[in-house]
Amino acid sequence: MNICGYIPESINEGPGVRAVLFVSGCRHACPGCFNTSSWDFEAGEPFTEELKSRILDEIASNPLLDGVTLCGGDPFFSAEECISFLSDVRDRCPDKNVWAYTGFTFEALMRQEKLRELALLCDVIVDGKFILKKKDTSLAFRGSRNQRLVNVALSIERGHVVEVIL
């Protein structure tokens, strides 16, 4: 897996101050995507164990962080590597919440074993492809009206998608 960016402190990809990892690679190719350079799976730099360890240390030692967000690209195309990373985040930083952005719907994630495993490590998933005709810059933390902020735990508990109300 490659990453095409890391922001140690951001306020744009979820509530509060967040560490944001941009995972390289996306096959959704949404017209109007704001980050087309992230579509290439070879973009950026390899997410080596050394880099992973450094980022985990930064996250664990930063008392200002409310959480961690996986963006892209689409982290669900690199599910196994992201599972490893988020498992370590959960072990070292149990107080941090986890968000992930994906072009897959939550329902699609639940149907595939590895995608489901990654989804279950998240507190909130911003799901759905970006649709240019539904672009709405007034929405919090998403770009088009079809995208949802899915509360993962409540959705699993209730058996249907439960959206986060901001």
- Residue pair 126/142 in contact (Cβ under 8 Å)? The answer is yes
CATH superfamily of 2-158: Aldolase class I (3.20.20.70)
Whether pLDDT at 4 is above 90 = yes
**Lateral strand order in the sheet of 97-101:** 45-46, 2-10, 18-23, 67-72, 97-101, 124-127, 148-151
Share of the chain above pLDDT 70, in %: 100
State how far Cα 64 lies from the chain centre: 19
Look at residues 123, 124, 142 and name the one whose alpha carbon lies nearest to residue 134.
Answer: 142
Q: Please state the domain extents for the chain.
A: 2-158
Look at residues 122, 90, 82 and name the one whose alpha carbon lies nearest to residue 106.
Answer: 122
Confidence of residue 34 (pLDDT cuts 50, 70, 90): confident
Query: What integer is the mean pLDDT of 44-49?
Result: 98
**What pairs with residue 151 in β-bridges?**
124
- Residue pair 8/19 in contact (Cβ under 8 Å)? The answer is yes
Query: What integer is the mean pLDDT of 45-71?
Result: 98
Q: Report the chain's mean pLDDT, rounded to a whole number.
A: 97
**Model confidence pLDDT, tens digit, residues 100-139:** 999 999 999 999 999 999 999 999 999 999 999 999 999 9
pTM of the complete model beyond 0.85: yes
What pLDDT is stored for residue 166 in this prediction?
A: 82
Confidence of residue 140 (pLDDT cuts 50, 70, 90): very high
- Residue pair 36/27 in contact (Cβ under 8 Å)? The answer is no
- Cis ω for the linkage preceding 73 (within 30 of 0): yes
Q: Where are the alpha helices (DSSP H) in 69-122?
A: 79-92, 106-111, 113-119
Whether pLDDT at 165 is above 90 = no
Query: What integer is the mean pLDDT of 47-61?
Result: 98
